[in-house]
Homo-oligomer: A and B are copies of this chain.
Amino acid sequence: MRRPGEQELIARFFRPLATAPGAAMLSDDAATIPPADGAEMVVTVDAVVAGVHFFPDDPPDAIARKALRVNLSDLAAKGARPAGYLVTLALPDDWEVDWLEGFVEGLSATRRSFSVSLLGGDTVRTTGPLMVSITALGHAQEGRVPRRHGGAPGQRLYVTGTIGDAALGLALRQDPRLALKWDLRRAEREWLLDRYLIPEPRLALSSVVAAYAAASMDLSDGLVGDLAKLAGASQCGALVEAARIPLSPAAGRAALVDPTTLSTALTGGDDYELLIAIDPDDVDAFEAEAADCGVAVTDVGALVEGEGVEVESKGPPLALDRPGYAHF
């Protein structure tokens, strides 16, 4: 199939994603974002490279959805609502129109799910592997952006959703026989694989994060390793109770059969759930408002005096052989 030049590529594939007026239909040098009263801008960028961050044969719509969603997850962690995003796409010489159609469909689906417009981008050729870099922008309440360093001893630690599914999904992807070992039903296996491919940015919780979080971050490199970063930035330690870690039915089943999966869940990356420190006085209001938003939050431990992360387990000792996963 003939491959279009850059102008046609923008018009055909990317313009339909650029629904914000400030995107100027991608026909200008830059996009504009109107000011929002009492808001500061939150900006973040994350890039993924084929063969490093995703499997080259991953479905293109899944690659797009994950690349955009991990950035939206950072916005959620900072209590922001999305204002738009920009995408840099480095296409290898042998790129296919079909692939790009799938990729754009993934961005389009994410735009619909989270009302986020493409604001601009750059498409370049590369002699290397495909790369996607996404910059996401959001509005947060001025002075209410929770940082990693806002934690203090005594605060309770919450996580959203369930932990470890993506790490188990990745393990299943690398060794499909684990599904048998872990006694998973077909739907459970699919679900874990999906959790690795398509993270769920917790934007529904943004306003609650802005209102109550003393410190907050999203979990990309594993709960234990990321918690060490939050506790370190807050100059304190953390205590996690292993029995409180929320596991999905699929991960729970795997953990029953094979206790090492719990270590994987605690240290594996790609959760893209939020880790939130809440002052004890705010715990009730936080839990109630999170419930109103329909986002499950679970108290998994507390920030404590000292340093480092301790995982308290009543079961067999956990072999946390690595603190977290480094994508670099």
Task: Tell whether, in the assembled complex, residue B148 and residue A27 are in contact, meaning their CB atoms are under 8 Å apart.
Answer: yes
Q: A53 contacts which chain B residues (CB < 8 A)? A: 124
Nearest B residue to A22 by beta-carbon distance? B40
Taking A35-B142, A127-B51 as contacts, is the C-beta distance between A41 and B41 under 8 angstroms? yes
Closest Cβ–Cβ distance, residue A241 to chain B (whole Å): 25
Task: Tell whether, in the assembled complex, residue A119 and residue B29 are in contact, meaning their CB atoms are under 8 Å apart.
Answer: no
Closest Cβ–Cβ distance, residue A51 to chain B (whole Å): 6
Closest Cβ–Cβ distance, residue A229 to chain B (whole Å): 8
A18 within 8 A of B: no
Taking A5-B326, A128-B127, A328-B125 as contacts, is the C-beta distance between A35 and B40 under 8 angstroms? yes
Output the residue of A30, A77, A126, A131 with the most chain B CB within 10 A.
A30
* Complex: A291 Cα to B121 Cα, angstroms: 34
* Complex: A233 Cα to B120 Cα, angstroms: 17
Taking A41-B33, A142-B35 as contacts, is the C-beta distance between A28 and B217 under 8 angstroms? yes
* Complex: A29 Cα to B80 Cα, angstroms: 12
Binary B-proximity of A75-89 (CB < 8 A = 1, otherwise 0): 101101000101110
Output the residue of A42, A133, A149 with the most chain B CB within 10 A.
A133
A205 within 8 A of B: no
* Complex: A6 Cα to B324 Cα, angstroms: 13
- A126-152 contacts to B, CB under 8 A, are 126-129, 131, 133, 135, 137-138, 140, 142, 145, 147-149
* Complex: A28 Cα to B218 Cα, angstroms: 10
A122 within 8 A of B: yes
Task: Tell whether, in the assembled complex, residue B124 and residue A126 are in contact, meaning their CB atoms are under 8 Å apart.
Answer: no
How many residues on A have C-beta within 8 angstroms of the other chain's C-beta atoms? 69
Q: A84 contacts which chain B residues (CB < 8 A)? A: 43
* Complex: A23 Cα to B6 Cα, angstroms: 33
Task: Tell whether, in the assembled complex, residue A29 and residue B217 are in contact, meaning their CB atoms are under 8 Å apart.
Answer: yes
Task: Tell whether, in the assembled complex, residue B41 and residue A137 are in contact, meaning their CB atoms are under 8 Å apart.
Answer: yes
A204 within 8 A of B: no
* Complex: A135 Cα to B149 Cα, angstroms: 26
Task: Tell whether, in the assembled complex, residue B46 and residue A122 are in contact, meaning their CB atoms are under 8 Å apart.
Answer: yes
Nearest B residue to A34 by beta-carbon distance? B40
A270 within 8 A of B: no
A45 within 8 A of B: yes
Q: A125 contacts which chain B residues (CB < 8 A)? A: 49, 52, 328
Taking A32-B40, A75-B30 as contacts, is the C-beta distance between A45 and B86 under 8 angstroms? yes
Q: Which 9 A-B pairs have the closest CB atoms?
A: A128-B128, A6-B328, A30-B44, A88-B133, A33-B41, A135-B135, A29-B74, A45-B86, A47-B88
In the complex, 21 of the A-B residue pairs with CB atoms within 8 angstroms, ordered by the A residue number, are A28-B148, A30-B44, A30-B77, A31-B43, A32-B140, A33-B43, A34-B40, A43-B137, A45-B86, A47-B133, A49-B125, A51-B127, A90-B128, A123-B328, A126-B129, A126-B131, A127-B129, A128-B128, A128-B129, A131-B131, A135-B135
Told that A5-B326, A28-B149, A127-B129 touch, could you supply 6 new A-B pairs with CB distance under 8 A?
A5-B328, A29-B217, A30-B80, A33-B40, A33-B42, A128-B128
